Amino acid sequence: MTIYAMSDIHGFIGPFEEALARVDLSDKTSRLILLGDYCDRGPASLAVYRKIMRLQEEFPDKVVALRGNHEEMLLEYIDMASVDLGFTQGWMLADVGLKTAQSFLDETSFAKVKHLLARKKFEDAYRMTADCMKTRHADIIRWIRGLPYYYESEFKQVFCHAGIDEDAGDLWRVGTPAEYFTSMSPYYNGKHFELDVIAGHISTEFVSEIPGYCDIWFDGASHYYIDGHTVTSGRIPVLEYDEATGTYSGPGL
């Protein structure tokens, strides 16, 4: 049995498909764990979400999708559009080049959004984008709202987008604030913990302090970081755990 993990797809459907080609779910006990941040930056956020949902339909109970901070941001922005248009600037800054909006909107609707922005009607553009996403892709928004913060395997592993509060010890499940799971920095890099912690969120170039590094990074203690910064590397590293041998493999290991 093999557990596969990947993270930070960020709207890049091509690299995601290439990474999936290395995943074999034909074994009844194999699993795929996706660690969040499926949207923003790349051109195909909607396609990535649809692909993950199809995988879960095709392989029930074998594909686990967790939430990342960009899922949290997406929900926040579409929810706040109806109550606080002060989020307009934040939405525009987060959705660089409006790539996520463009992937969710049809050509006509996106042209209207660009027209509103050209006329400096920023709040109207924000509201229209959020309304279109909520009404035309309600199934995806509902699915995102239901994404869990972490997945714990039977092999003394916890998978999450960013990290857990390891100072809480065996109470980490209740002691970790929600924002830690999706947004914390790699505070515990190089420190031993009772579980293996597999996370994305922060690029392995940053964690390893090796310029240009984009493979999986093991800190020599209890942490595997797997965000290979697809935006610049053009690929998504796949971590594999072999239950029979208790070993990890993947690019960089």
**Residue 30: what pLDDT?**
95
The vertex-230 CA angle with 176 and 145, nearest 5°, equals: 40
Range list of H helices, the chain: 13-20, 45-58, 69-80, 88-94, 99-104, 107-118, 122-136, 138-145, 172-175, 178-183, 204-208, 230-233
N- to C-terminal Cα separation, the chain: 19
pLDDT along the chain (253 residues), means of 10: 97 98 92 97 97 96 97 95 90 91 96 96 95 96 98 97 97 96 96 98 97 97 97 97 96 97
**Residue 82: what pLDDT?**
87
**Residue 27: what pLDDT?**
85
**Structural contact between residues 30 and 4, judged by C-beta atoms closer than 8 angstroms:** yes
| Measured CA distances, 125 to 70, 117, 204 (Å) | 20, 6, 36
Residue 114, beta-bridge partner list: none
**Residue 26: what pLDDT?**
87
**Structural contact between residues 226 and 237, judged by C-beta atoms closer than 8 angstroms:** yes
Edge-to-edge strand list for the sheet holding 63-65: 63-65, 31-34, 2-6, 239-242, 247-249
Cα distance between residue 98 and residue 143, in whole Å: 22
Residue 199, beta-bridge partner list: 225
pTM comes to: 0.96
**Structural contact between residues 194 and 204, judged by C-beta atoms closer than 8 angstroms:** no
**Residue 28: what pLDDT?**
84
